[in-house]
Amino acid sequence: MFKVNYSFFNRKLHELSLSNELIITLFHNLEKLFFYKSNMPTDKNYFICGLARSGSTNFLNMLYETGEFASFTYSDMPFLFSPNLWGNIKKIIGEGGLGKIERAHKDGIKIGINSPEAFEEALWMFIKKKKYISEKYISVHEVNNYEIDFFKLYISLIKSKNNNKIYLTKNNCNILRIKSLINYFPKSLFFILFRDPIQQSLSLINQHKNFARIQKENSFVLKYMNLLGHFDFGLNHKNVNIYNKNQNDYHLNDSNYWLKLWIDVYKYLIEFYNFRNVKFICYEQFCDRKKNYLTKFLCNEYNEDKIFSKIDSDKLINKNYDKNESKFLEKKLLDEAYVLYEKMKLNDD
């Protein structure tokens, strides 16, 4: 989150532009009329997803900073459905904005008006009419031809705004529709990030407590995260419903809940491990063996030398929690998680 202390006017503007169907449709039609290019290629994209706290934001920033990608940025808020139109309006009225500041996660990642961010889910909530969202769950679902065409239209609009660069998105909720996306985008790359299960589950519970506190202090933060479809943690957290198979009986303030969530999510995602255009990124390995990962995933297989040569991977540092904090995690869950963790890791020795 870039900014918490919105004025009353800005809060209402965000609510209307992200949730009012009449306003969204009006601006969508204007955007499409003036900026949509039917010949804009949308088949090659980079999708980053996984469970939250996997290192995906660092991975996103590393790729985006090469200058080869188009992505949603904070400058597109709150008119995500009309990025070109809104961008031109801001040129007329003048674009403000602070320099880079640390985001609300308090994890050392600094963001600014031109930083990429996970805003794509707002589109999917509109496309799917929130049918995959219930009080407690977000559910795995399929995407049909009409819905994918609508999504491709917005890929083309973001690419148009960014001079036809490769579309890049970090959206954890894409795990819910990854099967359909892989089918519709066979020329795209899908990066599924994960971390050591202890480290990732401890990070999740810490962020859950952090955002629950922030949302209690500022109710708009809760509304803001609901508008964007950010259900990873906090008061609006929703469990991932994978074909009604998973059940998590632990309390949200119990670290075992987040470890069980880790197991459920990655047990599902590993089904896609052998798909040619799906790449599992172990963040610990990536930080230790950056060259091996980048060479294997971007150069040898996809001839992305132009991108590879510009990546500054030395900025990536793996920060770990003291594993003594994991003493309350159940051995049965840990054993299951680490078997899965070893299966997903890249054998590049």
Pairwise CA distance, residues 239 & 135, whole Å? 10
Residue written as token pair 């899965």: 340
For the record, the structure tokens of 188 come out as 């795209």
Show me where the domains of the chain are located. 8-344
Residue written as token pair 């407590």: 209
Length of the chain: 349
CA distance readout (Å), 279 to 55, 325, 341: 15, 30, 14
Decide yes or no: CATH 3.40.50 for domain 8-344. Answer: yes
- Output the pLDDT for position 2: 45
For the chain, the helix, strand and coil percentages under 3-state DSSP, each to the nearest 5: 50, 10, 40
- Output the pLDDT for position 254: 94
For the record, the structure tokens of 298 come out as 């971007």
The DSSP element (H or E) to which 98 belongs, if any, is none
Pairwise CA distance, residues 65 & 115, whole Å? 9
- Contact indicator for 184, 143 with CB cutoff of 8 Å: yes
Pairwise CA distance, residues 237 & 226, whole Å? 9
Q: What tens-digit pLDDT sequence spans the chain (349 residues)? A: 544 566 777 888 888 888 888 999 998 899 999 888 888 889 999 999 999 999 999 899 988 988 889 999 988 888 889 989 888 887 776 655 556 666 667 666 666 687 888 899 999 999 999 999 999 999 999 999 999 999 999 999 999 999 888 999 999 999 999 999 999 999 999 999 999 999 999 999 999 999 999 999 999 999 999 999 999 999 999 999 998 877 899 999 999 999 999 999 999 999 999 998 999 999 988 888 776 677 666 655 555 656 666 666 555 556 666 666 677 899 999 999 999 999 998 765 4
Amino acid at 224: Y
- Output the pLDDT for position 271: 96
CA distance readout (Å), 292 to 15, 49, 240, 241: 44, 21, 32, 35
- Output the pLDDT for position 340: 97
Nearest to 229 by CA among 157, 168, 148, 171: 171
Residue 207: phi and psi, rounded to 5, are: -70, -30
Residue 275: phi and psi, rounded to 5, are: -70, 135
CB count in 10 Å sphere of residue 127: 18
Pairwise CA distance, residues 216 & 214, whole Å? 5
Phi-psi region of 94 (alpha: psi -120 to 50; beta: other; left: phi over 0): left
